[in-house]
Structure 1
Amino acid sequence: MRNHHHTPKFSIITVTYNAESVLEDTLQSVISQTYHHMEYIIIDGASKDSTLSIINRYKDRITKVISEPDKGLYDAMNKGMKQATGDYLCFLNAGDSFHEDDTLQQIVHTITESELPDVLYGETALVNNERHFLRMRRLSTPEVLTWKSFKQGMLVCHQAFFAKTSLAEPYDLQYRFSADFDWCIRVMKKARTLHNTHLTIIDYLEEGMTTQNRKASLKERFRIMARHYGMISTVAHHAWFVLRAVMKK
């Protein structure tokens, strides 16, 4: 029997820093949600551009705004988490948006369990600056997700991974580029129920990460995988990835 008595509260957290060119789409996608059991928290790193005046235009629809210098993205996310009072956390970066106006409502409708799942997850579409669909994310979401799934890489985009607030620990600030990868694995290790919504949840703004950052990010991911899955398993997986890449050429 399908039961719709769940009305979980979502804490949506957007971290901004000089985000004037991409922020408005994100704000509008949150405030136009048809599901209203949510709070919206914006953590700004003391932007120097017009980010704050854009936020100000929507301030009656935003639960909390903090603007002050921080130690980077994950430090700001930790601040946002401290403010969250919802059942679930959703980190929606400036530039990213919900796929549809009723995305949160659709997510809630997929929950048929009597208890709220520990993690909700779904698909991510990549869009360009004009919000035009480019393609689905390269790594496809597994039908059944466990903490071991990320041995294959980050199979679920961080923005399309909603964790129960009660399970979430702070992001580990020793990682500058891939703390979200580590965070998701730690959440999944504690989670008993991980629920596949089978929905496209997020439109992710495809902006190229610099090659330099990509290298640093991959090195961090390697360290994170070795920490959670052991060095031998991680090296074996990476050898397989390298071999596949070479064979494709």
Structure 2
Amino acid sequence: MKITIITVVYNAEKHLRDCIESVLAQNYQDLEYILIDGNSSDGTYQIAQEYEDRISILVSEPDNGMYDALNKGIALATGEVIGILNADDILATEDVVSEIVKKFQELNVDAVYGDLNYVAQDNVTVVHRKWRSAPARPRDLALGWMPAHPTLYIKSTLFDKFGGYKLSYGSAADYELMLRYFYKHQINTAYLPKLMVNMRNGGMSNQSTKHRYAAFLNDYAALKQNQVPIPLFALFLKKIRKIKQFF
């Protein structure tokens, strides 16, 4: 089973090397790594070029943001399964991909997801929050539950069948895709109870008050689009569910 991991990056030279090396350190061999750079103006592309002989596809060109770049990567991918690793994040252990493959092969599912730690920007051993997932039921999405997107690995045929990331949802494009796949189309999924990703604090929807309000509106629109009943209730529970990540 061939696995594709996509990293999209723009002006993220500080942590990119850690991200790349965590992928290249995986003990699973049939692994395609695609890196899409949005024409960075710092040293990002130069760092990526240092690994060019081990990166399957390296692209540097302007794009319309993170999710446009992800869609580009998905279009280029040749793996049976596609996962995403943000440029500031790292795969937690060398066996993450091999354990994902085992789960796919054991259960013949459409998608696999697992656990994630939110860690300090400059020290990934300092854990701020722990996102521990659970087996998914479609109704849970209407109750504020969602998998950790950076841990989600999806069969590539689903992108052909149900579409990729919709740019109109801004920072909620990943949330909308998961609602579409998990809730609307009720794909077959499996939870891997393993720490898969160390994610540095930050992100598109986790910035200023203005960004948070925009994220709220985008989340609401994503829920409405996928016909989730009582979207405001789902958003309230989505916030409440985050509390246990601190304990």
Please state which band the TM-score falls in when normalised by the shorter chain.
0.7 to 0.9
| CA deviations over 1:30-79 (Å, ceiling 9, x no partner) | 00101111100011110011111100111111000111101111111110
Q: Distance in 2 between matches of 1:145 and 1:242?
A: 18
User: Could you say what secondary structure the match of 1:178 adopts?
Assistant: helix
Q: Distance in 2 between matches of 1:11 and 1:82?
A: 11
Q: Find 1:205's aligned residue among 185, 200, 203.
A: 200
TM-score, structure 1 length as denominator? 0.86
**How far did 1:157 drift?**
1.3
**How far did 1:242 drift?**
8.7
Q: Distance in 2 between matches of 1:77 and 1:42?
A: 10
Given residue 234 of structure 1, which amino acid in structure 2 is its aligned partner? Answer: P
Q: Which residue of 1 aligns with 2:244?
A: none
Q: Which residue of 2 aligns with 1:108?
A: 101
Q: Distance in 1 between matches of 2:22 and 2:198?
A: 10
Count the aligned residue pairs.
Answer: 234
| CA deviations over 1:72-94 (Å, ceiling 9, x no partner) | 11111110000011111111110
Give the percent of matched residue pairs that are identical in Structure 1 and Structure 2.
30
Any stretches of 5+ residues in structure 1 without a counterpart?
1-7, 245-249
Query: Is contact 1:99–1:203 with CA below 8 Å preserved after alignment?
Result: yes
- The structure number with the bigger radius of gyration is 1
Given residue 70 of structure 1, which amino acid in structure 2 is its aligned partner? Answer: D
1:44 paired to 2:41: no
The CA RMSD over aligned residues, in Å, is: 2.3
**How far did 1:154 drift?**
5.3
| CA deviations over 1:72-120 (Å, ceiling 9, x no partner) | 111111100000111111111101111101111222234463x631010
Q: Which residue of 2 aligns with 1:5?
A: none
Given residue 7 of structure 2, which amino acid in structure 1 is its aligned partner? Answer: T
1:194 paired to 2:189: yes
**How far did 1:156 drift?**
1.4
Q: Which residue of 2 aligns with 1:226?
A: 224
Q: Distance in 2 between matches of 1:159 and 1:52?
A: 22
Q: Which residue of 2 aligns with 1:182?
A: 176
Any stretches of 5+ residues in structure 2 without a counterpart?
242-247
Which deviates more from structure 2 when the two are superposed, residues 102-111 or residues 197-206? 102-111
Do the aligned partners of residues 240 and 122 (structure 1) sit closer, same or farther apart at CA in structure 2, a change above 3 Å counting? Answer: closer
TM-score, structure 2 length as denominator? 0.86
Given residue 201 of structure 1, which amino acid in structure 2 is its aligned partner? Answer: M
